[in-house]
Amino acid sequence: MNLECKHVWEHISGYLDKQLDRELLAAVERHLAACEICSAILDSTRNILILTADDRTYELPLGYRERLHERLAGVVGRARE
């Protein structure tokens, strides 16, 4: 099975999530090994996911936890500290 670039693009997510079946995976890997453009698309997509999972991308506001438990205390009662 030989894939064109545009077909590889449709499988980038499946590839990153390891959901491609064996035959398709082999074809995608063969293509990636030979195609700098698709390798770059894969790398940039993967980097987005790595950055997304970085805790610094979404940070909690200062004092968020305290205010949350303060408000909850009015509803459920004080935590035992």
Partner 1 sequence: MKSAATTNEAALITRVLAGETELFHELIRPYERLVYVTLFAILKNEAEAEDGAQETMISAFRNLKGFRGEAKFSTWLVTIAMNEARKRLRKAKGAREDSLDDTAGEGEGKFTPAVLTDWREIPLEALERKELRGQLRDAVARLPEKYREVFVLRDIEELNQEETAAALGINVTLVKVRLHRARMMLQKQLAPYLTSETPFRAPGKPTRGFFGRWFL
Of 59-78, which residues contact partner 1 (CB under 8 A)? 60-61, 64-65, 67-69, 71-73, 75-78
Per-residue binding string, partner 1, 14-53, x by CB under 8 A, is: x-xxxx----------------xx--xx-xxxxxxxxxxx
| Locus of tokens 């499946």 | 14
HSE-up (13 A, CA, CB side) for residue 60: 7
Size of the site for partner 1 (CB under 8 A): 46
Q: Closest CB to partner 1 among 1 and 51?
A: 51
Q: Answer whether 3's CB lies under 8 Å from 31's CB.
A: yes
Interface with partner 1, residue 55, by CB under 8 A = yes
Q: Answer whether 3's CB lies under 8 Å from 25's CB.
A: no
Q: Closest CB to partner 1 among 26 and 47?
A: 47
Structure tokens at 35: 């195609």
